[in-house]
Structure 1
């Protein structure tokens, strides 16, 4: 993760700032997410029934893939000198383009879209994030992610 001064943010707009390592989305992770969210739809947890669908097996919840963004962002987004904390500020857009089959690996690709100082020392950073699936051309999801970074 590049560590930069806030005054350098403008020069990063429109540039890819990082790509995460691959993360495996295995059946155990999918089952744990199903338990946590109480979303036990068969396509996620019943391997035998899911094998009879066009997916040929279980798939991760779209929201599970989205929930991996903090992990996929760690170390791959810009670090501002003097950062006290970063806060997930939400999303302007999220699109689920391709299911993630159990056992697949995903990674995040981040591009800085905008950086606005909302208050002194509080920067709203906007990233376009693509979650790629190893070996598959169409990404799992695309999102516009917002992060509030507080510098002191």
Structure 2
């Protein structure tokens, strides 16, 4: 994990490479809980028997489940000290490139791709790539925007 001691150090971090994080296994239980939370019970996510004969050879995680793990991965990639608050401002250019099969392990890498100085704050865009163990193509790539307030 990269630790930035304050907003000034973080503001100078443009282009910094972050990570990778530790691997995380995507279990069927996690996928089922996400399906329950979002009311998205499509069979490719929650019916292993039917999904075994489907296009992916088994159940896969929801793309939005992968996206919802970005705050977790971001906390493992870096931390900014000396702030009072960090606020998720949103995402740009979210792409789900490769399905994450249940049982696969994923991790994230990041790059600080934009820094904007604001009055008493810094707004940072970090491009986060979620990798799948053993896959040449990533699961997802998204630009995460966070405001850090002094």
Deviation per CA, 1:22-76: give whole Å up to 9, x if none: 1111000000000000000000000011011121000000000000001111131
Partner of 1:128: 127
Shift of 1:5: 3.2
Partner of 1:84: 84
In structure 2, C-alpha distance between the alignment counterparts of 1:148 and 1:19, rounded to whole Å: 22
In structure 2, C-alpha distance between the alignment counterparts of 1:117 and 1:132, rounded to whole Å: 30
TM-score, structure 2 as length reference: 0.93
Shift of 1:117: 1.8
Give the superposed CA RMSD.
1.3
Deviation per CA, 1:86-135: give whole Å up to 9, x if none: 11110111000000000111111010011112222x11011010000111
* Corresponding residue SS for 1:20: coil
What 5-or-longer segments of structure 1 have no aligned partner? none
Q: Which moved more, 1:13-22 or 1:43-52?
A: 13-22
Which aligned pairs between 1:2-151 and structure 2 lie closer than 5 A?
Answer: 2-79=3-80, 81-120=81-120, 122-151=121-150
In structure 2, C-alpha distance between the alignment counterparts of 1:77 and 1:4, rounded to whole Å: 11
Conserved in 2, the CA contact under 8 Å of 1:87 and 1:148? yes
Q: How many residues align?
A: 149
Conserved in 1, the CA contact under 8 Å of 2:11 and 2:122? no
Moved segments of 4+, more than 4 Å: none
Shift of 1:78: 4.3
